[in-house]
Amino acid sequence: MTTLPPRWLRRLVLAPGLVFLTVLLLSTLPVWLLVASALSRFVPGRLRPLRVVWVVMLHLVLESLILVELLGLWLASGFGAAIRRPYFSRIHYDIVGTYLRVMFREARRVLRLRVVVEGPAPDAFPGRPLVVCCRHAGPGDSFILMHALINWYAREPRVVLKDTLQWDPAIDVILNRLPSRFISPNPGGTGHDVERQIAGLATSLDNNDAFVIFPEGGNFTVARRRRAIERLHRLGLEGMARRAERMTHVLAPRPGGLLAALDAAPTADIVPVAHTGLDHLVTVADMWRELPMDKSIVMRWWRVPHDDIPTDRDARIEWLFRWWEHIDTWIDTNRVHH
């Protein structure tokens, strides 16, 4: 398992290093554009290298600008003393929203992506806290989900993420200032500490908050699906294992984190979210091969009022499995086969 560098090292080395790399690449950008243009004549896919250069450079420039702005906010807040006050939190959410809005616009234009949203979206239920539970498949799902919640539906997400995402300097700095929890994918022990952290994050949701969790615990892959089924067998949950074997597009959900969130947010409505369209894009090689993607991503939102959620723990686990079976069926009906 990869060891994350200590925070001081990430702040003093990784963050300035990314800004330096961006300046270096910008100063040599004409060379990169010439190389990408030359390669485009020999690489399948229309202008594939140029598209990659554009998206990568845009991401680096935005991240570098964000890091500079975050440093300014840290200074303005009294060297971080007031950085978590509502005024500064709102500014941080605006920064995240701007980055997502620009990258989403360019992804649609440069990568030729389209997003179709079905079902009742969160803006249809103003004034209610939400617990959003989303299937996890591919690197783009959380990006699009966060963009939708912040920029379309004016929500302030509280999100549970893998701790390895802190290798990204901008994510590391900004989400450690906003309500979020970085969780190790292999925490060891019984997992009670993880559930305690999740419960703490889901406590005191207000009317524009959206607690976001991915109950599968990781992106869908064939190997992870097999391990999830084997884990249920080891635990003696033969009935759940057989049901997981029948679900071919999702992993068997791990209920602990979601149940902890439901206990901590007893008045919140639940919003299950499914999506399909980029399911097969798991590795960097997959994404490179598909450029320009020219794909449609279909997102389906449902809403379950809190009064309709079972109160008994075993009944809630059964309820979650039924929802994941429903999501698996929806994906099978709506996905594009490759």
Q: Cβ distance 135 to 327 under 8 Å?
A: yes
Flag whether 265 is in a domain: yes
Identify whether 273 is part of a domain: yes
Quote the distance between the C-alpha of residue 35 and its chain's center.
33
CA–CA distance, 60 with 56 (Å, rounded to integer)? 6
**CA dist., res. 51 & res. 39, Å (int):** 12
Residue 223 lies in a domain: yes
Give all strands of the β-sheet with 209-213 in edge-to-edge order: 113-118, 295-301, 269-276, 130-134, 209-213, 156-162, 180-183
Query: How high is the pLDDT of residue 193?
Result: 85
Tell me if 148 is assigned to some domain. yes
What is the Cα–Cα distance from 257 to 132, expressed in whole angstroms? 12
Give pLDDT, residue 279.
Answer: 67
pLDDT at 123: 66
Cα–Cα nearest to 154, from 207, 88, 84, 87: 207
Number of domains the chain contains: 1
Q: Are strands 113-118 and 269-276 parallel, antiparallel or unpaired?
A: unpaired
pLDDT values of the chain reduced to their tens digit, one per residue, 338 residues: 458 899 999 999 999 999 999 999 999 999 999 999 998 888 877 788 888 899 899 999 999 999 999 999 999 999 999 999 999 999 999 999 999 999 999 888 887 888 888 887 666 667 789 999 998 876 677 788 899 999 998 999 999 888 889 999 999 999 999 999 998 766 554 457 889 999 999 999 998 999 999 998 888 888 889 999 999 999 888 989 999 999 999 999 999 999 999 999 999 999 999 988 766 566 666 666 666 567 778 889 999 999 999 999 999 999 999 999 999 999 988 876 54
Q: Which two tokens stand for residue 113?
A: 């992506």
Q: Are strands 269-276 and 295-301 parallel, antiparallel or unpaired?
A: antiparallel
- By the 8 A CB rule, do 296 and 114 touch? yes
Task: Give domain status of residue 1, yes or no.
Answer: no
Alpha-carbon span 17 to 209, nearest angstrom: 34
Q: Tell me, what's the pLDDT at 338?
A: 46
Residue 316 domain boundaries: 7-334
Q: How far apart are CA 114 and CA 71, in angstroms?
A: 35
- CB atoms inside a 10 Å sphere around CB 235: 10
CA distance 139 to 136: 9
Residue 103, in any domain of the structure: yes
Predicted pLDDT at 336: 62
Cβ atoms within 10 A of the Cβ of 298, count? 18
Could you tell me if residue 158 is inside a domain? yes
Q: Which residues pair with 304 in a beta bridge?
A: 270
**From CA 132, how far away is CA 213, in angstroms rounded?**
6
The verdict on whether omega for the bond into residue 292 sits within 30 degrees of 0, i.e. cis, is: yes
Residue 257 is assigned to a structural domain of this protein: yes
